[in-house]
Amino acid sequence: MALVVKAFFSMKFSEQFENRFVRMLAHYPTKRSVLVPTLLYAQDETGYLSPEVIHEIAERLELTDLEVENVISYYSMLTKTPRGKYNVQVCTNIACLVRGGEELLDHCKHKLGIRNKGTTADGMFSLEEVECIGACSWAPAVQVNYDFHENLTTERMDEVLDEYRAKN
Amino acid sequence: MPDVNITVDGKKVTAPTGTLLIEACKTAGIEVPSFCYYPNLSLQGACRMCLVRVEKMPKLQTACTTVITEGMVVATDNDEIHQARKSMVELLLGNHPLDCPVCDAGGECELQDMTFSYGAAESKFIDIKNHREEQQWSPVVYFDRPRCILCYRCVRVCGEGMDVWALGVQNRGVSSIIAPNLEDHLNCEECGMCIDICPVGALTSGAYRYKTRPWEMNHVGTTCTHCGDGCKTTLGVRRSDTGMEIVRGDNRDKSGINGDFLCIKGRYAFDFANHEDRLTQPLIRKNGRLTPSTWEEAFQLIGKKFAEVRDKDGGEAIGVIGSTRTTNEENYLLQKFARVVLRTNNIDHHRTADFPAFAAVLSGKPESTATMRDVFNAPAILLIGNNPTDQHPLLAWQIRNNVRLHGARLYVVNSEPIKLRRQATIFSQIPEGAEARVAAFLGGDDSVLDALVTANSNRESWTGLRETLRGERNLVIIFGSEIRGDAVSVLMKFGGAIGAKFVCLGDYANSRGAADMGLYPDLLPGYQAVAQSGKFHEGWGDIPNAPGLNLPAMLERAKAGKLKALHVVGANPVGRLGLNPGDFSQTFVVVQDMFLTETAAIADVVLPAANAYEKSGTFTNTCGDLQIIKKAGEVTSVKSDFEMIVRIADAAGFDVSKLVPFSRGSRADMGQSRGAQSGEADQHRVWLEANGLEPKMSPFDPMAILDEIQRLVPGYDVSRINLLAGNDQHTSLSNSGRGAAHDANLIVPANNDLFSSGTLGRYSRTLNSVLENHHKNPAEAEVAAD
Amino acid sequence: MASLVSHPDEVKVVSKRFGMGATNIDRYCELDGYTALQKALEMQPDAIINEVKNSGLRGRGGAGFNTGLKWSFVPKQSAKPKYILCNGDESEPGTCKDRLIFEHDPHAVIEGVVIAGLAVGAHAGYIYVRGEYRYLLEIMQKAIDGAYARGFVGKNVLGSGYNFDVYWHGGAGAYEVGEESALMESLEGKRGIPRIRPPFPAVVGLWGGPTVINNVETLASVPHIINGGAEWFAKLGTPKNGGTRLFCLSGHLNRPGVYELPMGYNLKKMIYDVGGGIPNGRKLKAVVPGGSSCPLLTADEIDLPMDFDSLAKAGSMLGSGGLVAVDDTTCMVKFALRIMKFYRHESCGWCIPCREGTDWLEKTLKRFHSGGGIEKDIDNIQYLSENMLGRTFCPLGDAAALPTISIVKKFRKEFEDHLEGRPCPFEEHLVSV
Ligand SMILES: Cc1cc2nc3c(=O)[nH]c(=O)nc-3n(C[C@H](O)[C@H](O)[C@H](O)COP(=O)(O)O)c2cc1C
Ligand code: SF4
Ligand code: FES
């Protein structure tokens, strides 16, 4: 059972994470204030928030695991399940919608052979329809992990995906 | 606090500064509807049911979050408001399953009531409702998600009220969901407060679900039988083949000392009453085996045998062990029976606190025992020893919520880092067994100081604590059984000097009552020495005036073959105190109990007894609050201990009218067999008497003895009408006897925790399944949530 | 990274350093950077507040409250520390300006935060940036480090004896967190559930201390006001609507982009002139004037000045400055559905009307758009939206209801065209649901 694992497992994060964590703690009057960014930084390193990561962060911030889960489940960027190496986030909100956001999403579905929130079998890509990402004037826009790709067409989208695939 | 004047629906309303509008309306008799608002829990403003129109405000305002201000003009009901509320109900019903006919809450559902009130019955919603399967979170807690209306009451009562924080809110928007702390199950104190507080049928009780419809039950308000705190509980009973079956325990009646609170035992652990091992026939040992017999045969045998031993070997050859779970009336009757009928002072019980030492200090002083209600209101509390969260759940609730709601200062001294330290202003951890030294130190003895120093507390912190305490006015000092013997008087002297009030913690439901009623070899009711039978003498005639044997001494005598008879009523000394059954081989043992306990197993006669939920009488909780217990359940084939004692006396040839002062010649049925209505009959009786009408009372009516208790036991002369009306009445120890020094080793704590309740608990399926579940899922180290 | 545009009508104040390398602190200082701070350090706090008040600067986050007035609500004396909280959660559909400010002129935000701190007597400021804008982290961190190194923030700011710390704080994806009280909850490490008000943040805010919360653009405007003076700033705009605004033009336009135009600039002109008009010779159908929360305007309602008061008079809102133009190929039922899908996804779930209302409305609109609509639904959509309005725990409920009500009212015919199994008449242009 997960509980037993928790007791013996100690998480390892990168030095950068640890430095940032310590620095952030000094920025706020309460420990838990670092929770949201810390979870995102942790997820950047571990891919998703596993029970072990949750427990580790909860302990560090003197919170219950439940409390941390409550927070995780609130924020759409935080996830408890693994995603692909490249998370392709297609905005279909109004500004993108009227400039072909949904076509882009459909295109990605076909191209990658996965559904919304799916992950390719090789674990390379996952796909997510997202809400406005703040690129309305450069619509339609897509974010792959944290990188913005704007003024896209389906052709341009193919190139973007190919670039990521080649990166690997 | 100065008052604020407002106008609500044209009515002038005055309420103290800081009052919430919703509460101010309530005082004016105007009910503003709400789901999320719950008194004494944090404000949410989430359900929007309480919207009202406040003049000069552009939008409708939530009455639950609005603090009244001078001159405020409010409308709580007009078309606009009605429409707002109606639409809230409609919106809720959009996703709410309409499975009311099979829902446990059907008939007791706030959403049903609101739908009724606001006429939101027409369904505009034609799309598919969001659905999720029901989940079982623990043996006693089920969650039906689609029924949840997200009022967050459960989350708050668990966190704020219980300091358990086992429930959270996950996801957001319409996917928001109440979630338990371990993925899909709960790890918590299983108090069930979440279920009681749920306005709909989202949280249901494993013990009750799908058992019956609310309107098929009778509801009996009585007192819990599990610990020394004495919560008021409402038992739902329904007819069954064998009488009346208890199907639900809850807390509808919030007027009790426990307000909203009940712990797992009060809420679910009534089920021992229906356990299949329950004894239903008297048993007599024949040829070495306990064999079913008739009541008549059993009483005749016992009466004859007791009289024989008394007449041949004298009362000293008989021992009586009373109970911490029988009523005051039964305990009083039992010791009177021992002294007057059996002519022995060999009477004792399982002692879990040093009440005689406590009474000795208080005797002759102005009243200074704290009530359970005081613990919720005191500005400061000192707690030495004990772990109330486990052993006194209500007391812990009172302390916790006093700190939370009134900002009380809590000082905790304990050898363990008990959970209440989280509410403590100062927590001092001491070495194990050092509680008496703390008392000495507080009393001014600095020589013990070094022995108190631990990693968490140095000399300065101790002297600091003592100074702080000395500065506290209206302190309530609560101490566990770790403080006994001389330490009691030392500690109380310290407290007395600063005008403190006290609570001495005893473990079982009527431990305090057993002590008050004189289940001691050397003490009569009210802690008066046996040699000074005074007032009792008049009513009882001569009684033996030398102290009798305490429990260990009776055991010694039994071993020596000189204890010829032993009468055990509602106690299990063999099981609970670890006595050797073989030691009673030469003793005629009579046991009155519900189950074939370790003690009953060695008896010569076993009489099947009713429990506290099946009879009437009174209990005194550990604070000295006297409360009524009322008959709820009924198993027709058992008898109350009261009746059995009277019958034995009768069979021994004693004139029972000298034992129970019932009126001569009348044998009116005063309700002992009338199920849930019995309490009313008892009240009727008192009413008659109070009005000078001819009392008709049976010798089995405990109210007759209550008369005598009120007359003869110091401190018990409380208002009878209030008592019978179900209000707690505080008894006083100011006029009690001076008690006597006792061997402190006679005190054996029950060591019950949240999920155990002595012998009773072993027969509760609920408690056992919860225990099993907790073994499977051990709790993680507790962490404070902020 | 996002490309910049320009138009002759632009009046560049907040955007004056865009594309000029001002992320570099030396370059920023060359371009008048931190001169306002020096000036402000010489001023009395009340004088700063008055200057901002008189400039007519109104919140650029959406509600358009007078900024100086908001600052004046902060109590002078406070037992708890006071804070400045810069709202960079920018998630209102149609809005993408704060991102540009961070990207091109991060020091202006920092400078604005410090000046706000001076004005109300705070000693710490937090800049909350939505989690998706991760690439800004490096830019912001470098800017903050630079400001510390040069003594513009930190202990003894520019030798004045005044201490002020600035921190960056990242979100993790939640529109509601842009609401000021939810923002504070989020910063405190909690779920982004709004708080009960009163008390307002200016009195009880972050960790219980009085807190000024302002949008990025609002705070970035402040140094310019201090330098240029209240009168100059006020005159850039219309009465009570001082200064300029970054208008985010998007949708069916030939030249979408973020343009800085004076307050009160004509909307029609903005669309046809600045934005280059509607592509492919199509006709304008509707305009979202200030982000998805605002009631839509039809093509013949757009001849009006873009300022807070004029839009309010026209029954809409200036909001966050996100203008989305849609042409006549757009299905308004679909448009309403997409907006509702957003609010359903972003509702925090705290209160009944918003949580249940957005779900119900999305379901109905979805069914309706795919041909399953019945006559009664149209009134139902209206009924539900109207019953959410003004009754939710925070303005998100209004934000969901307002555009919906306006669409049903102004484009009822399009709803009727979808009735009884009829396929969406616009479907060829919008492929999937
Ligand atoms: C649902 C909701 C989302 C909001 N999102 C943002 C946001 O992303 N950025 C922002 O500056 N203000 C946002 N606001 C407005 C803020 O609550 C607040 O009014 C603003 O930050 C104050 O700054 P200002 O006076 O400078 O505009 C939002 C409000 C609501 C109700
Ligand atoms: S606290 Fe004690 S009296 Fe109250 S419900 Fe629990 S066991 Fe019964
Ligand atoms: S009772 Fe006021 S909002 Fe729920």
Using one digit for the tens of pLDDT, what is the confidence trace for B139-182? 999 999 999 999 999 999 999 999 999 999 999 999 999 999 99
Helical segments of B256-367, H only: 264-268, 295-313, 328-336, 355-362
Instruction: Please indicate if any CB of chain A lies within 8 Å of the CB of B777.
Output: yes
* Cβ of C398 below 6 Å from ligand 1: no
pLDDT classification of B778: cutoffs 50, 70, 90: low
What pLDDT score was predicted for residue B665?
A: 36
Contact criterion met (CB < 8 Å) for C339 and A94: yes
The residues on C that touch B, with CB distances below 8 Å, are 174, 176, 191-192, 196, 344-353, 355-360, 363-364, 367, 374, 376, 380, 383-384, 387, 390-393
Query: CA-based diameter of chain B, in Å?
Result: 92
Q: If you measure from the C-alpha of residue B87 to the centroid of ligand 3, how many angstroms do you get, rounded to a whole number?
A: 14
Residues of A in contact with C291 (CB under 8 A): none
Tell me the DSSP string of B713-772: STT----HHHHHTT--EE---TTS-------GGG-------TT-BHHHHHT-HHHHHHHH
Using one digit for the tens of pLDDT, what is the confidence trace for B337-393? 999 999 999 999 999 999 999 999 999 999 999 999 999 999 999 999 999 999 999
Over range B595-609, report the average pLDDT.
97
Over range A133-160, report the average pLDDT.
97
Over range B473-495, report the average pLDDT.
96
Q: Partners for A (CB, 8 Å, 3+ pairs)?
A: B, C
Over range B273-294, report the average pLDDT.
95
> Whole-angstrom Cα distance, residue B306 to residue B297?
14
Instruction: Name the strand (E) or helix (H) holding C98.
Output: helix C98-104
| Least reliable range by pLDDT among B270-274, B688-692, B767-771 | B688-692
Q: How far apart are the CA of C198 and the nearest CA of chain B, in angstroms?
A: 9
pLDDT classification of B685: cutoffs 50, 70, 90: low
Least CB-CB distance to A69: which of B166, B168, B778? B168
Contact criterion met (CB < 8 Å) for B175 and C349: yes
Chain-centre distance for alpha carbon C396: 13
Report residue B18 as tokens: 């800081």
pLDDT classification of B697: cutoffs 50, 70, 90: low
A6 has pLDDT over 50: no
What pLDDT score was predicted for residue B674?
A: 40
Using one digit for the tens of pLDDT, what is the confidence trace for C16-70? 999 999 999 999 999 999 999 999 999 999 999 999 999 999 999 999 999 999 9
Of residues B105 and C188, more confidence is placed in: C188
Indicate which of B34, B87, B111, B147 best probes the interface with C, i.e. most C CBs within 10 Å of its own CB. Answer: B87
Residues of chain C with CATH 1.20.1440.230: 332-416
Indicate which of C6, C84, C132, C217 best probes the interface with A, i.e. most A CBs within 10 Å of its own CB. Answer: C132
B522 has pLDDT over 60: yes
* Cβ of C292 below 6 Å from ligand 1: no
Residues of B in contact with C351 (CB under 8 A): 45-48
> Whole-angstrom Cα distance, residue C286 to residue C281?
15
Report residue B647 as tokens: 């019958």
> Whole-angstrom Cα distance, residue B194 to residue B202?
10
Using one digit for the tens of pLDDT, what is the confidence trace for B704-746? 899 899 999 999 999 999 999 999 999 999 999 887 778 888 9
- Say which CATH topology domain B283-354+512-657 has: Rossmann fold (3.40.50)
What pLDDT score was predicted for residue B24?
A: 97
> Whole-angstrom Cα distance, residue B2 to residue B763?
54
Cβ pairs A/C, distance under 8 A? 166
Distances (CA, A) of C331 to B413, C345, C427, C431: 71, 21, 8, 11
Burial readout C9-33 (b: 16 or more C-beta within 10 A, e: otherwise)? ebbebbbbbbeeebbebeebbebeb
Instruction: Please indicate if any CB of chain C lies within 8 Å of the CB of B124.
Output: yes
Q: What ligand is nearest to the CA atom of residue B390?
A: 2
- Count CB atoms within 10 A of the CB of residue B388: 24
Using one digit for the tens of pLDDT, what is the confidence trace for C112-130? 999 999 999 999 999 999 9
Beta strands at C257-262 and C165-170: parallel, antiparallel or unpaired? unpaired
Residues of B in contact with C367 (CB under 8 A): 127
What pLDDT score was predicted for residue B688?
A: 52
Using one digit for the tens of pLDDT, what is the confidence trace for B487-511? 999 999 999 999 999 999 999 999 9
Map out the domains of chain B as residue ranges: 3-77, 90-205, 283-354+512-657, 356-505
What pLDDT score was predicted for residue B569?
A: 98
Contact criterion met (CB < 8 Å) for A138 and C96: yes
Q: Half-sphere exposure of C72 toward its Cβ, with a 13 Å CA cutoff?
A: 14
Beta strands at B617-620 and B565-569: parallel, antiparallel or unpaired? unpaired
Instruction: Report the mean per-residue pLDDT for chain C.
Output: 96
What pLDDT score was predicted for residue B670?
A: 39
Q: What ligand is nearest to the CA atom of residue C352?
A: 3
- Count CB atoms within 10 A of the CB of residue B254: 13
> Whole-angstrom Cα distance, residue A131 to residue A113?
22
Q: What ligand is nearest to the CA atom of residue B162?
A: 2
Among B741, B731, B784, smallest CA distance to B525 is for B731
pLDDT classification of B690: cutoffs 50, 70, 90: low
Same fold for the domain at B3-77 and the one at B90-205?
A: no
Q: How far apart are the CA of B173 and the nearest CA of chain A, in angstroms?
A: 9
Using one digit for the tens of pLDDT, what is the confidence trace for B556-580? 999 999 999 999 999 999 988 888 8
Q: How far apart are the CA of C152 and the nearest CA of chain A, in angstroms?
A: 18
Contact criterion met (CB < 8 Å) for C250 and A74: no
Residues of chain C with CATH 3.40.50.11540: 25-236
Tell me the DSSP string of C105-169: -HHHHHHHHHHHHHHHT-SEEEEEE-TT-TTHHHHHHHHHHHHHHTTSSBSSGGGSS--BEEEEE
Q: Output phi, psi for C216, to 5 deg.
A: -55, -50
> Whole-angstrom Cα distance, residue A74 to residue C348?
8
Using one digit for the tens of pLDDT, what is the confidence trace for C191-210? 999 999 999 999 999 999 99
What pLDDT score was predicted for residue C433?
A: 31
Distances (CA, A) of B607 to B280, B290, B322: 9, 11, 14
Q: If you measure from the C-alpha of residue B50 to the centroid of ligand 3, how many angstroms do you get, rounded to a whole number?
A: 5
Report residue B256 as tokens: 């009790």
* Cβ of C180 below 6 Å from ligand 1: yes
* Cβ of B25 below 6 Å from ligand 3: no
Indicate which of A8, A61, A66, A81 best probes the interface with B, i.e. most B CBs within 10 Å of its own CB. Answer: A66
The percent helix, strand, coil of chain A (3-state, each to 5) is 50, 10, 40
Using one digit for the tens of pLDDT, what is the confidence trace for B174-186? 999 999 999 899 9
Among B544, B565, B543, smallest CA distance to B554 is for B565
pLDDT classification of B300: cutoffs 50, 70, 90: very high
* Cβ of C63 below 6 Å from ligand 1: yes
> Whole-angstrom Cα distance, residue C52 to residue C43?
13
At residue B636, the 3 state secondary structure works out as coil
pLDDT classification of B214: cutoffs 50, 70, 90: confident
CATH architecture of the region C332-416:
Up-down Bundle (1.20)
Between CA A27 and CA A31, with CA A28 as vertex, the angle to 5 degrees is 115
Q: How far apart are the CA of A143 and the nearest CA of chain B, in angstroms?
A: 23
- Say which CATH topology domain C25-236 has: Rossmann fold (3.40.50)
> Whole-angstrom Cα distance, residue C177 to residue C173?
8
* Cβ of C179 below 6 Å from ligand 1: yes
For atom 2 of ligand 2, the residue with the nearest CA is B227
pLDDT classification of B23: cutoffs 50, 70, 90: very high
CATH class of B3-77: alpha beta
Q: Partners for B (CB, 8 Å, 3+ pairs)?
A: A, C
Testing ligand 1's pocket by substitution, the residue of C179, C212, C346, C358 carrying the most ligand atoms inside 8 A of its CB is C179
Q: At which residue do the structure tokens 């070094």 appear?
A: B450
Q: Output phi, psi for A77, to 5 deg.
A: -80, -15
Q: Are C83 and C124 in contact (CB under 8 A)?
A: yes
B666 has pLDDT over 80: no
What pLDDT score was predicted for residue C1?
A: 58
User: pTM for this structure?
Assistant: 0.93
Q: Are B185 and B138 in contact (CB under 8 A)?
A: yes
Burial readout B283-299 (b: 16 or more C-beta within 10 A, e: otherwise)? bbbeeeebeebebeebb
What pLDDT score was predicted for residue B777?
A: 66
Q: Does domain C244-327 have CATH number 3.10.20.600?
A: yes
> Whole-angstrom Cα distance, residue B420 to residue B274?
35
At residue B179, the 3 state secondary structure works out as strand
Amino acid of residue B441: F
Detail the DSSP E strand segments found in C5-91: 83-88
pLDDT classification of B610: cutoffs 50, 70, 90: very high
Contact criterion met (CB < 8 Å) for A63 and B780: no
Q: What is the ipTM of this complex?
A: 0.94
B453 has pLDDT over 80: yes
Ramachandran sector of residue A120 (left: φ over 0; alpha: ψ -120 to 50; beta: rest): beta
Instruction: Report the mean per-residue pLDDT for chain B.
Output: 91
A1 has pLDDT over 50: no
Over range A117-132, report the average pLDDT.
97
What pLDDT score was predicted for residue B783?
A: 41
What pLDDT score was predicted for residue B321?
A: 98
Residue of chain B minimizing CA distance to C177: B172
Q: Partners for C (CB, 8 Å, 3+ pairs)?
A: A, B
Q: Output phi, psi for A128, to 5 deg.
A: -145, 130
Q: Does domain B90-205 have CATH number 3.30.70.20?
A: yes
C418 has pLDDT over 60: yes
Over range C4-23, report the average pLDDT.
97
* Cβ of B35 below 6 Å from ligand 3: yes
Residues of A in contact with B165 (CB under 8 A): 64, 66-67
Instruction: Name the strand (E) or helix (H) holding B590.
Output: strand B588-593
Domains of chain A: 2-74 (1.10.10), 86-166 (3.40.30.10)
- Say which CATH topology domain B356-505 has: Dimethylsulfoxide Reductase; domain 2 (3.40.228)
Q: What ligand is nearest to the CA atom of residue C133?
A: 1
Residues of B in contact with A63 (CB under 8 A): 783, 785-786
% pLDDT > 90, chain A:
92
Using one digit for the tens of pLDDT, what is the confidence trace for B85-130? 999 999 999 999 988 988 989 888 999 999 989 987 677 888 888 8
Instruction: Please indicate if any CB of chain A lies within 8 Å of the CB of C192.
Output: yes
Residue of chain A minimizing CA distance to C190: A71
Q: If you measure from the C-alpha of residue B172 to the centroid of ligand 1, how many angstroms do you get, rounded to a whole number?
A: 19
Instruction: Please indicate if any CB of chain C lies within 8 Å of the CB of B150.
Output: yes
Least CB-CB distance to B783: which of A3, A30, A63? A63
